[in-house]
């Protein structure tokens, strides 16, 4: 494992803390979540903790002491041969320190005592209050333990600062190692979507298609899906977060799949919509090509200096005009945009940051203004159009739901689409599905 990116990130955080007078940061990993009795949900380390350490065991805490002689200190589980026989390998503090490049490591059982020492006479405690009541109480107890030593001349930190605010800003711009991982996660997700397209046929069930996706994610090395896969046939595509995935697929319907894998802690997020029987009908093709045109306009708007919302505005303009042409909405383009009547059929946003989390860390606005795009930022581009049956809607479009989603990295001159391993032009989708049927 290459530990230098983690080391670099810890140095960057120390630098940022020092710009605000230094202090001590406490960054715990995620707790294990019981599922029932003695089984747990699959464990996933906290994204911030993972970003700074590369260490993915539960029950671990990173403490960073900034200032002129900075230190990175890991608290983790001790080795325990009996537990390791049941649950698997644990590094233990010494091997973890050595392998992951920390300055110091201690058993996690010593955290509370050591924290009271580490926080004494420090100007600030950097923590993320309000995310976990148990941790809030533990941190309060550590501060009170320092206060209790005031007659011995120890001073508790005068300020509590939000460590996640600094980490969010760092995570917004991906480094080379992150981008390489994201490209690979994206390629795996694309392969999974191709597999799903090839497999899909009338009479198969949504869950059977989901199984193909999961098979490909895992086979190619993803640890888990990056979020619950949406496999939505026919009218289900108009339910934005449909995850039932239990219905049969019908001849003549579209299938919308929104699915991505997580690789080494990084998400991919792809949506494709295609016909269950391999051939788009006329009205399906009309809606599909409108969404594809909107996506092309959004992608063209991604470049350094553009605002985060520019791709959304570009997509909405194309979609609104298309909806007018298809008699889904009425009035001039300006009126439809002004009144936002397009929102009846396109009610979500076009992009979100993508990274360790599918909806990744990072602010979308700087004050009043949308965040300016900068090389190394990664975002999705996912316009859609969802048409529920209604008397004032042309019947030919009823129950057509289309979304097309790709993942983009902002480059020096525009953007790189990292999910283009799965087709999205109608002719290419139809050719792939025809070839799969022989």
Contacts with ligand GLY by CB under 6 A lie at 227, 258, 269, 352, 358, 382, 405
Residue located via tokens 């810890």? 10
| 38 is known as an active-site residue | yes
Task: List Cβ<8 Å contacts ≥24 apart for 150-157.
Answer: 154/120, 154/121, 155/120, 155/121, 156/119, 156/120, 157/23, 157/24, 157/119, 157/122, 157/123, 157/124, 157/125
Give dist(CA 438, CA 159) in Å, integer. Answer: 68
227 interface partner picked from Mn ion, ligand GLY, none, CB below 5 to 8 A per type: ligand GLY
Q: Which of 178, 216, 253, 258 binds Mn ion (CB under 5 A)?
A: 258
Q: Which is nearer to Mn ion, 124 or 358 (CB)?
A: 358
The answer to the question of residue 360 lying near Mn ion (CB under 5 A) is no
Instruction: In angstroms, give the least distance from the CB of 108 to Mn ion.
Output: 35
The answer to the question of residue 181 lying near Mn ion (CB under 5 A) is no
Count the residues of the shown chain that bind Mn ion, applying the rule CB under 5 A: 4
Q: Which is nearer to ligand GLY, 9 or 193 (CB)?
A: 193
**Kind of pairing between the strands at 124-127 and 159-162:** parallel
Contact in structure between 221 and 188 (CB atoms under 8 Å): yes
Q: Which is nearer to ligand GLY, 54 or 261 (CB)?
A: 261
| 403 is known as an active-site residue | yes
The answer to the question of residue 380 lying near Mn ion (CB under 5 A) is yes
Give me the helix-helix angle, 310-325 and 282-300, nearest 10°: 150
| 269 is known as an active-site residue | yes
| 312 is known as an active-site residue | no
Q: 153 Cβ partners below 8 Å, 6+ apart?
A: none
Binding span for Mn ion by CB under 5 A among 29-37, 200-208, 254-262, 394-402: 254-262
For residue 211, the number of C-alpha atoms closer than 13 Å in the C-beta half-sphere is 8
Residue located via tokens 């924290």? 115
Distance between alpha carbon 30 and the CA centroid of its chain, in Å?
16
The answer to the question of residue 216 lying near Mn ion (CB under 5 A) is no
Q: Which residue is nearest to ligand GLY (CB)?
A: 258
Q: Which is nearer to ligand GLY, 93 or 225 (CB)?
A: 225
Give dist(CA 328, CA 132) in Å, integer. Answer: 46
Binding span for Mn ion by CB under 5 A among 81-89, 256-264, 333-341, 413-421: 256-264
The answer to the question of residue 269 lying near Mn ion (CB under 5 A) is yes
| 51 is known as an active-site residue | no
**Binding interface with Mn ion (CB under 5 A):** 258, 269, 380, 405
Q: Catalytic amino acids?
A: 38, 241, 258, 269, 348, 352, 359, 382, 386, 403, 405
């Amino acid at each position: 494992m290459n530990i230098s990116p983690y080391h670099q990130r810890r140095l960057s955080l120390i630098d940022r803390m020092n710009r605000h007078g230094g202090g001590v940061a406490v960054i715990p990993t995620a707790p294990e979540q019981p599922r029932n009795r003695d089984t747990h949900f699959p464990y996933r380390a906290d994204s911030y903790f993972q970003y700074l350490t590369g260490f993915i065991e539960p029950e671990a805490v990173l403490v960073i002491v900034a200032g002129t002689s900075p230190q990175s200190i890991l608290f983790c589980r001790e080795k325990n041969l009996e537990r390791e026989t049941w649950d698997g390998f644990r590094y233990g503090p010494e091997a973890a320190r050595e392998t992951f490049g920390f300055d110091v490591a201690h058993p996690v059982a010593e955290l509370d005592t050591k924290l009271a020492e580490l926080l004494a006479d420090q100007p600030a405690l950097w923590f993320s209050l309000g995310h976990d009541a148990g941790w809030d109480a533990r941190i309060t107890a550590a501060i009170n333990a320092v206060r209790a030593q005031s007659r011995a001349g120890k001073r508790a930190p005068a300020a509590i600062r939000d460590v996640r605010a600094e980490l969010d800003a760092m995570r917004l711009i991906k480094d080379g190692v992150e981008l390489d991982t994201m490209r690979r996660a994206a390629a795996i997700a694309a392969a999974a979507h191709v597999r799903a397209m090839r497999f899909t046929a009338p009479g198969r069930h949504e869950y059977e298609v989901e199984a193909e996706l999961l098979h490909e994610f895992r086979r190619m090395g993803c640890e888990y899906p990056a979020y619950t896969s949406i496999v939505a046939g026919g009218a289900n595509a108009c339910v934005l977060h449909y995850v039932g995935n239990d219905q049969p697929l019908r001849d003549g319907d579209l299938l919308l799949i929104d699915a991505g894998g997580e690789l080494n802690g990084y998400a991919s997020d792809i949506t494709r919509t295609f016909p269950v029987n391999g051939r788009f009908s006329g009205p399906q093709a009309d809606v599909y090509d409108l969404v594809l045109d909107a996506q092309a306009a959004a992608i063209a708007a991604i470049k350094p200096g553009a605002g985060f919302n520019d791709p959304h505005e570009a997509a909405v303009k194309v979609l609104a005009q298309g909806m007018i042409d298809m008699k889904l909405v009425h009035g001039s383009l300006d009126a439809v945009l002004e009144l936002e009547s397009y929102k009846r059929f396109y009610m979500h946003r076009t992009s979100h940051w993508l990274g360790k989390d599918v909806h990744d860390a990072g602010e979308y606005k700087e004050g009043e203004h949308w965040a300016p795009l900068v090389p190394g930022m990664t975002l999705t581009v996912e316009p859609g159009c969802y048409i529920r049956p209604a008397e004032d809607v042309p019947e030919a479009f009823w129950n057509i739901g289309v979304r097309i989603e790709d993942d983009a990295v902002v480059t020096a001159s525009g953007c790189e689409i990292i999910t283009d391993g799965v087709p999205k032009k109608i002719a290419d989708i139809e050719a792939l599905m025809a070839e799969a049927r022989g």
